Amino acid sequence: MTKQFNAFEMAQNQFDEVAEKLQLDASTRELLRWPLREYHFLIPIQMDDGSTQVFKGYRVQHNDARGPAKGGIRFHPQETVDTVRALSMWMTWKCAVVDIPLGGGKGGVICDPHNLSPREQERLCRGWVRQIVRNVGPVQDVPAPDVMTNPQHMVWILDEYEKIMGGHFPGFITGKPVEVGGSLGRTEATGTAVIYTVREALKRLGIPIEGVRASIQGFGNVAQYAAKKLIELGGRVISVACWDNNDRTAYAFVKPDGIDVDFLLSITDRFGTIDKDKAREAGYEIKPGDAWLEQEAEILIPAALENQITGENAAKIHPSVRLIAEGANGPTTPEADAVIRERGIFVIPDFLCNAGGVTCSYFEQVQSNMNFYWPKEEVLERLDHKMTVAFHAVADLAEETGEYMRDAAYMIAIQRVATACRLRGWV
């Protein structure tokens, strides 16, 4: 039986393997395999019925040698400090691989926002920042939305921070609505940037983008914008898969001559479920959820959830597939990764492929700090440049050393952070 690791053990094991390849010295390894700092605190909130409830909050700063820590705040009933630690470490590597001057952080509150009224959620956001105000900020640690937190939560957190600090500090937090210092282009950034990396990978593989076929898992934020961008560049999306809220299962919507994103959006309800009857009428074939990876296509884009390509289903990947672009976080299990590697499929690893989101958040922070905002075209142009340069740095290293793309990406990221620590005299 394979040993089940928790997320933080997994992150540490990944780090240890790469540290070995890079021959990092013992003190650098010790420094980077743990968070630099972590804060655990209690947030007492007055509930609408007059009672007081006490919530547990966290902020973990894994490393800030390259710049202020950056990472989301999650509201989740099953949140554990180990998950937050792992996520903060992954943020360090994600920011480093795209070479933005930020470190890695993550925060969370153990709660279920579905059971909280908007006023209670507001008090929780304000309470969170009151407990951590001295240790976060535009030059220390910059939070963002994450699981079950949204732009409104960010505004409440920002507003409380600014009240305490007595000034305007929009660069303290990202994921803000555009009306309060958010960046244009953030909504489409992640999915669009997935395709910037796909475009560059196709060039290296010698596959023309014109007419290239992709099958996508998911039809949410990342998947929709990835599909739109690929189609805009001349590619064809032959299937998307989404969760059906009514049937409590996933379906793939297959159309070999190419899906129409706007049409599918027009028949998607507010829970993200695509209307099967209307899709069928329009010529889509409806298949079980897993069918997305069995389609004849050159590209697979998992853009839904973690652990979707597994040791069991990896064998079903169609022989035509040449490229897997990991739009989601952690979509491929280690067992599946071994199969994909063996088959010689080119992989754009998640923390590089979906780093368009954090890169755009960095742009938001830059604009907020300057109090000067760029047009959307400029944001996306800068995003394209960052992603393209980052992708080729990783692909060049993979080519030069014969390393798998995922390992090459970790090597670049970890080396950059290790160098910053050394230059600062920390190790």
Residue nearest to ligand NAD (CB): 220
Report how far apart, in Å, the C-alpha atoms of 68 and of each of 94, 144, 161, 287 are: 14, 13, 17, 46
Q: Does 242 bind ligand NAD (CB under 6 A)?
A: yes
Q: At closest approach, how far in Å is the CB of 336 from ligand NAD?
A: 15
Of 241 and 397, which CB lies nearer to ligand NAD in the complex structure?
241
Packing angle of the helix pair 376-401, 186-205 (nearest 10 deg): 40
Of 55 and 225, which CB lies nearer to ligand NAD in the complex structure?
225
Cα gap 218→243, rounded to integer Å: 8
Q: Does 222 bind ligand NAD (CB under 6 A)?
A: yes
Of 74 and 236, which CB lies nearer to ligand NAD in the complex structure?
74
Residues near 3 by beta carbon (within 8 Å), at least 6 away in sequence: none
Q: In this structure, are residues 297 and 238 in contact, taking their beta carbons and an 8 Å threshold?
A: yes
The answer to whether residue 106 is catalytic is yes
State whether residue 23 is helix, strand or coil. Answer: coil
Of 57 and 327, which CB lies nearer to ligand NAD in the complex structure?
327
Cα 67 off chain centre by: 19
Among 217, 295, 333, 367, binds ligand NAD (CB under 6 A): 217
Number of residues that bind ligand NAD (CB under 6 A): 22
Q: Does 250 bind ligand NAD (CB under 6 A)?
A: yes
Q: At closest approach, how far in Å is the CB of 94 from ligand NAD?
A: 9
Here the tokens at position 157 are 């957190």
Closest CA to 242 of 191, 288, 281: 288
Q: At closest approach, how far in Å is the CB of 379 from ligand NAD?
A: 14
Describe the chain by its helix, strand, coil percentages, rounded to 5.
Answer: 50, 20, 30
Q: Does 284 bind ligand NAD (CB under 6 A)?
A: no
Q: Does 305 bind ligand NAD (CB under 6 A)?
A: yes
Q: In this structure, are residues 115 and 124 in contact, taking their beta carbons and an 8 Å threshold?
A: no
> Among 106, 176, 255, 386, which one carries the catalytic annotation?
106
Q: Does 388 bind ligand NAD (CB under 6 A)?
A: no
Cα 235 off chain centre by: 24
Cα gap 37→47, rounded to integer Å: 31
> Which range touches ligand NAD (CB under 6 A), out of 50-58, 100-108, 229-237, 301-309?
301-309
> Which range touches ligand NAD (CB under 6 A), out of 11-19, 42-50, 130-138, 211-219?
211-219
* Bridge partners for 300 per DSSP: 215, 324
Query: Token match 């992708």: residue?
Result: 391
Q: Does 190 bind ligand NAD (CB under 6 A)?
A: yes
Radius of gyration of the chain (CA): 21
Region of 7 (left: φ > 0; alpha: ψ -120 to 50; beta: rest) is: alpha
Binding flags for ligand NAD, 111-150, as an x/- string (CB under 6 A): ----------------------------------------
Binding flags for ligand NAD, 312-331, as an x/- string (CB under 6 A): ---------------xxx--
Among 218, 300, 309, 421, binds ligand NAD (CB under 6 A): 218
State whether residue 171 is helix, strand or coil. Answer: helix
* Catalytic residue ranges: 106
The contact set with ligand NAD (CB under 6 A) reads 190, 217-223, 241-243, 250, 272, 289, 303-305, 327-329, 354, 357
